[in-house]
């Protein structure tokens, strides 16, 4: 763990094992912290806040830019570590390292742009001054599926704003988190400003994060169920809360679209990170007259994907995070097939040969999916593309919006008017129009409804860590 500028053991002395999800190989052991460790980390962050919040924006920006450069210099080793601990193919890991570094650079630049404003008064002898100030100590909880970029997307704006932070990384990927903390430490972040508690059981840490009065803000990325619990507990003490939660993204092919082009986009996006992404397309709506061409293209491309250890050249789909994740995907596919869907490609666990010791499910394309199937209603978080045929373009928007989630959506069309009307009608926070990568450090990321509160990235992402203070000044 990392508390008050030092890597330390848990107070209990306990540790837990970290393994490679593709091979079952033990990668190491890390401290198994509890509530006492979380309290010590919060105390360090609280003590460091006063001095750190008074540093100039330029000084904070310089430290962040150093961290950005160090992350670039260590990109190869960081990517190799991510592939070993999280499982995604090496090329995808390298892309995430770059993506994570972009957040550090973006918020380093934004730190220098923190401004206030003079506001006119009706009184001739009065002036108003509005300024922004850091909220205080931030408690952060990050996921395993993007184990580096989700840290930098929270840490960089918090530090840019002048906050201190205590982070609990996912229990599946603590070594990735340690590597990121080494980057920030080596960049010159002062003692106590960043702190990390690792734990095999997140519940006691979450209880401290949400109840300790020294914590001013909670930020969480993960499942809707856990996010709802944490946000509710934090709300009891009126902490600032931002949560980025689950998704159930529709992928809409409009009647005027090229089905082959759309299918290529869907295939490129769906199987990234073995489908373990909150913005992964989960419901592929295709006009009935285009569904054969779309499905054929999807099947051809997905059939070429090699599944295995992400460190092996040519592997395009790595393992799932654990056996429970495989079981969930298998149950959804079995339910769909039992109710009339067809597994055009894949549809089974992979358990033989090189897959014997890992958590693998074959990249799968399901045709004939209907709304009575579990996969139609629930997020899969796995390498399965359910294709749903539709006939009425006026109803497909209602079908897409018929979910409690509202994170990401995608639409393929050749008509500008159709694109704009669809963007306006969809109840999702992120929408890709003929685009399967509608994200960047410079744009807001977040969802509606059960997909969360607040935004990360862009100016909005920095605002999540700032309070507004207004002074009325009599002359």
Per-residue model confidence as pLDDT tens digits over 368-388? 999 999 999 999 999 999 999
Q: Say whether 244 is catalytic.
A: yes
Position 60 scores a pLDDT of: 98
Q: Please give the model's pTM, rounded to 2 decimal places.
A: 0.96
Catalytic residue, chosen from 85, 96, 110, 244, is: 244
Position 108 scores a pLDDT of: 98
Position 133 scores a pLDDT of: 97
Q: Which domains does the chain have, with CATH numbers?
A: 2-245+451-474 (3.40.605.10), 249-441 (3.40.309.10)
Position 332 scores a pLDDT of: 98
In this structure, the strands spanning 15-19 and 240-244 are unpaired
Alpha-carbon span 207 to 202, nearest angstrom: 9
Catalytic residue, chosen from 85, 96, 110, 278, is: 278
Alpha-carbon span 246 to 180, nearest angstrom: 24
Mean pLDDT, all residues of the chain: 97
Position 293 scores a pLDDT of: 98
Position 69 scores a pLDDT of: 98
User: Would you say 126 and 473 are in contact if contact means Cβ atoms under 8 Å apart?
Assistant: yes
Which segments in the chain show pLDDT lower than 70? none
User: Would you say 128 and 473 are in contact if contact means Cβ atoms under 8 Å apart?
Assistant: yes
């Amino acid at each position: 763990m990392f508390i008050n500028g030092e890597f330390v053991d848990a107070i209990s002395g306990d540790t837990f094992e970290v393994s490679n999800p593709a091979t079952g190989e033990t990668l190491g052991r890390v401290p198994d912290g509890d509530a006492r460790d979380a309290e010590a980390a919060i105390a360090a962050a609280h003590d460091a806040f006063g001095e750190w919040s008074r540093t100039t924006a330029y000084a904070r920006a310089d430290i962040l830019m150093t961290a950005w450069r160090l992350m670039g210099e260590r990109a190869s080793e960081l990517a190799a570590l991510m592939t070993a601990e999280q499982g995604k193919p090496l090329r995808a890991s390298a892309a995430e390292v770059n993506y994570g570094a972009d957040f550090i650079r973006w918020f380093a630049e934004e730190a220098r742009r923190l401004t206030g404003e003079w506001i006119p008064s009706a009184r001739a002898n009065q002036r108003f001054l509005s300024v922004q100030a850091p909220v205080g100590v931030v408690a952060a909880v990050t996921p395993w599926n993007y184990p580096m970029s989700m840290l930098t997307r929270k840490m960089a704006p918090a530090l840019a704003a002048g906050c201190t932070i205590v982070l609990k990384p996912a229990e599946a990927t603590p070594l990735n988190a340690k590597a990121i903390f080494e980057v920030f430490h080596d960049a010159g972040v002062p003692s106590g400003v960043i702190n990390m508690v690792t734990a095999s059981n997140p519940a006691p840490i979450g209880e401290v994060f949400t109840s300790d009065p020294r914590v001013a803000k909670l930020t969480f990325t993960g499942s809707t169920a856990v996010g709802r619990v944490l946000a509710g507990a934090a709300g009891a003490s009126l902490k600032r809360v931002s949560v980025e939660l689950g998704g159930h993204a529709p992928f809409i092919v409009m009647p005027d679209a090229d089905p082959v082009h759309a299918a290529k986009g869907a295939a490129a996006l769906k199987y990234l990170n073995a489908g373990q992404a909150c913005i992964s397309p989960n419901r592929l709506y295709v006009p009935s007259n285009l569904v054969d061409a779309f499905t054929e293209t999807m099947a051809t491309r997905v059939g070429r994907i090699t599944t295995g250890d992400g460190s092996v050249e040519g592997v395009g789909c790595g393992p799932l995070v654990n056996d429970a994740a495989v079981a969930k995907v298998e149950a959804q596919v079995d339910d769909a097939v039992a109710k009339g869907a067809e597994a055009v490609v894949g549809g089974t666990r992979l358990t033989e040969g090189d897959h014997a010791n890992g958590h693998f499910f074959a990249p799968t394309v399901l045709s004939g999916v209907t709304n009575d199937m579990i996969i139609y209603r629930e997020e899969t978080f796995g390498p399965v593309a359910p294709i749903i045929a539709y006939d009425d373009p006026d109803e497909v928007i209602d079908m897409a919006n018929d979910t409690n989630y509202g994170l990401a959506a995608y639409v393929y069309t050749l008509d500008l008017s159709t694109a704009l009307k669809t963007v306006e009608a969809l109840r999702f926070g992120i929408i890709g129009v003929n685009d399967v990568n509608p994200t960047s450090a410079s744009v807001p990321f977040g969802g509606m409804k059960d997909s969360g509160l607040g935004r990360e990235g862009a100016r909005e992402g920095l605002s999540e860590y700032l309070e507004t203070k207004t002074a009325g000044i009599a002359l």
